[in-house]
Amino acid sequence: MSPLPWYVAGPLIGLVVPALLLFGGKAFGLSANLRHACAALPVSNRAKPGFLRYDWRTAGLWNLVFAAGIAVGGFLGIRVFSDPSAAMGLSADTVAALADLGVTDLTGFVPAQLISWGALATPGGALMVLGGGFLVGFGARWAGGCTSGHAISGLADLQLPSLVAVAGFFVGGLAVTHFVLPLLLG
Amino acid sequence: MTDSALRFRQSDGAGDGASPRVEPPIECLDTEQVAPALRPRALAEGNAPLALAVYGLLGAALGLVFTQAQVISWFRIYEMFRFESFHMYGIIGSAVATAALSIWVIKKLGLTTVHGEPIQLSAKAWGGSRVPGARYWMGGVTFGLGWALLGACPGPLVALLGGGVSVMLAALVAALAGTWTYASLRDHLPH
């Protein structure tokens, strides 16, 4: 199954930035929702770190609804408009590299051999799902944004701090892909 | 007067007491970049039911594009970090170019929001750390490690969850734990 071409998908994603700005003066960024969700947890204010003590409804309800919309879009895209048994259309080099790591099941959007409830019981699967999730949550807030906030909004607004953050994203990602995964799975 | 009010707000949050530099109020440090003067109105309007419906629809459209372009695929992220396909780079590059052009047009024409407010993006602060830009590169690398392990960043994570990849629930809980841990350690981390 070939994906929607990059020159269609990219501009459509990019247009979300002016749409949010023109509609409500909002800046595109999704990881702030992790903070809003933590702030919204039913825990007394005294038990929360100061960073999570704010009015999440006025600051972040719009963004949480935006994220809920993404979940609906994901449902439509995966359940209605995708063929779950079709291959991704990955490059041959990537398929070969995955085979070296023992990843042979290339169906679906995530490798079931590594990222699934069953794989959570293995050290590799636990590190990837739980460790990966933890680092995403920790790092996105530390860096003040994620791929949407820095790599799209920030770069588009020519913000130098965002360029530094994006370089960091790639340093971390390259380290995992070229050193950690082969050690973990090889 | 304004200055003391600003200082009060800073000390009110979990600001880093080490640096006397003027930083935006803590809640602006993240992605809520609306200019401070416009925040009250933007916040109020943003929570009207109709506005929320529009944000939900925009999110659904984005989630659908994410899925159809395979941005939410662990395999695509792996392929990207191996430089074995142009696909993800083309998407990110053309998204940035489109957004940059749009922001340029908005600034050039002085466009306002539908409520008539001027559109301003506030600059991201370098922070007062002894290590310049520490939060951006240290936090960035931390995020990158997680991005490649999980094969999903916060947007795609939610799209996968919506599409029934239920193990992403465990990843989401872990991400919330990561955010909470960051919040607890925030004062001890370089920014």
Given an 8 Å threshold on Cβ–Cβ distance, is B163 in contact with A79?
yes
Residues B28/A60, Cβ–Cβ less than 8 Å: no
Residues B161/A150, Cβ–Cβ less than 8 Å: no
Q: Among the three residues A48, A63, A86, which one is the final residue of a domain in this structure?
A: A86
Same domain, residue pair A125 and A174: yes
Task: Read off the pLDDT of each residue in B57-67 and give the average, rounded to a whole number.
Answer: 98
Say how far apart CA A51 and CA A141 lie, in whole Å: 10
Say how far apart CA B189 and CA B191 lie, in whole Å: 6
Given an 8 Å threshold on Cβ–Cβ distance, is A175 in contact with B145?
yes
Residue A35 clears pLDDT 70, i.e. is over it: yes
Closest CA to A155 of B136, B80, B85: B136
Closest CA to A141 of A66, A46, A37, A41: A37
Same domain, residue pair A60 and A116: no
Same domain, residue pair A48 and A130: no
3-state DSSP helix/strand/coil % of chain A, to nearest 5: 70, 0, 30
Residues A34/B157, Cβ–Cβ less than 8 Å: no
Question: 10 Å Cβ neighbour count for B115?
Answer: 15
Residues B31/A31, Cβ–Cβ less than 8 Å: yes
Instruction: Identify the residue with better confidence: B101 or B9.
Output: B101
Same domain, residue pair A132 and A75: no
* Residue A55, pLDDT score: 86
Say how far apart CA A65 and CA A39 lie, in whole Å: 15
Q: Among the three residues A66, A86, A106, which one is the final residue of a domain in this structure?
A: A86
> Given B31, B144, B181, which is nearest A172 (Cβ)?
B144
Given an 8 Å threshold on Cβ–Cβ distance, is A71 in contact with B47?
no
Same domain, residue pair A29 and A95: no
Non-local CB neighbours of A95 within 8 Å, separated by 6+ positions? A106
Q: Which domain holds residue A8?
A: 1-86
pLDDT band at B115 (very low <50, low <70, confident <90, very high): confident
Q: What angle do CA A54, A57, A58 make, to 5 degrees?
A: 85
Q: Please tell me the number of Cα atoms within 13 Å of A111 on its side-chain side.
A: 25
SS3 B179: helix
* Residue B122, pLDDT score: 77
Same domain, residue pair A2 and A82: yes
Residues in chain A, overall count = 186
Q: How many domains is chain A built from?
A: 2
What is the per-residue pLDDT across B128-173, written as a single tens digit (0 to 9) for each? 788 889 999 999 999 999 999 999 999 999 999 999 999 999 999 9
Q: What angle do CA B160, B162, B167 make, to 5 degrees?
A: 55
Task: Read off the pLDDT of each residue in B107-114 and give the average, rounded to a whole number.
Answer: 90
Which ipTM score applies to this complex? 0.96
Question: In chain B, which residues have their Cβ closer than 8 Å to the Cβ of A61?
Answer: 46-47, 52
* Residue B134, pLDDT score: 94
> Given B27, B72, B105, which is nearest A54 (Cβ)?
B27
- B98 interfacial to chain A (CB closer than 8 Å): yes
The pTM for the full model equals 0.88
Mean pLDDT, all residues of chain B: 82
